[in-house]
Amino acid sequence: YLLNIRPAGDWPAQYFYYAGGVPRVMEEIKDMLHLDVMTVTGKTLGENLEDLKKTGYYEHCDEILRSKSQAIHREIKRTDIIRDFDHAIGTNGSIAILKGNLAPEGSVIKHTACPPAMFNSRLNARPFDSEEEAIDAILHGKVRPGDAVFIRYEGPRGSGMPEMFYTGEAICSDPVLAASVALITDGRFSGASRGPVIGHVSPEAAAGGPIALVEEGDLIELNLEQRSLNIVGVKGQEKTPEEMETILAERRKHWKGFESKYTKGILKLFAQHAVSAMKGAYMD
């Protein structure tokens, strides 16, 4: 993990280019690349990288970085933005797959953008059946520190799996919530997401996944070290795994199922035949 770029890092995206961009990263990981592979330039990857050195590409980037340093009266080193290989920011990647009774097939978190204080936490479930409902609750102060905001029925079959970007930004706009509230969804996130956001929860709610069975006040346990995401209690009271299994089975009996809003065309077919997000969200 070499890049100190927002949202997980310190520098705006354009500074990636000022520091040398993709070619500089490729130089750092050169030993891992197939330098003899042919590219669309008619030259190999290795030849392309050598040409950049000969044409002054890195000197051009260094000059931009110097001008930016002068503008803020502080030296900005290339390694402030793109670390060298031997001094990486981290060696355990930037995302993790979490599993448990809440996400039997898995879910995804970008842990490099998650506050370390949230790596191991117990949270109070606040389920919403659409992103609009969740945003409204956040903006009107109905979400408190220590809550786990759930947005469900936004998976592949539910609504086509849109990005839940705005809810995450609504949480992160409040420093107190940003450091204490998780966002958990069967929808998805882009690379711009920040904070403790967990997406791709599978199976999704529309397919009857456990996320559809979450109720207000359930205790949610997030444990990044163990790569787990579980429902561990009801109405604030902790339960054993066996007790939770029985409770979820009982809730499933009363689950009313899901009826798609798409009644014709390709979206109807997708809602009927999409596989889970963790399997690729393709139409089977």
Q: Give the whole-angstrom CA distance, residue 113 versus residue 8.
A: 4
The token duo for 235 is 């109405």
User: What angle in degrees, to the nearest 10, is found between the helix axes of 57-72 and 21-28?
Assistant: 110
Q: Give the whole-angstrom CA distance, residue 122 versus residue 178.
A: 15
Nearest to 222 by CA among 213, 232, 212: 232
Nearest to 23 by CA among 7, 39, 8: 39
Torsion of CA 196, 202, 204, 210, to 10 degrees: -90
Q: Are 152 and 174 in contact (CB under 8 A)?
A: no
Q: Are 145 and 195 in contact (CB under 8 A)?
A: no
Can you give the length of the chain in residues?
Answer: 284
Q: Give the whole-angstrom CA distance, residue 139 versus residue 69.
A: 38
Catalytic residues: 190
Q: Please provide residue 265's backbone torsions phi and psi, each rounded to the nearest 5 degrees.
A: 75, -165
Q: Give the whole-angstrom CA distance, residue 255 versus residue 119.
A: 31
Contacts made by residues 170-177, CB under 8 angstroms, sequence distance 24+ = 170/135, 170/138, 170/139, 171/138, 171/143, 171/195, 176/145, 177/138, 177/143, 177/145
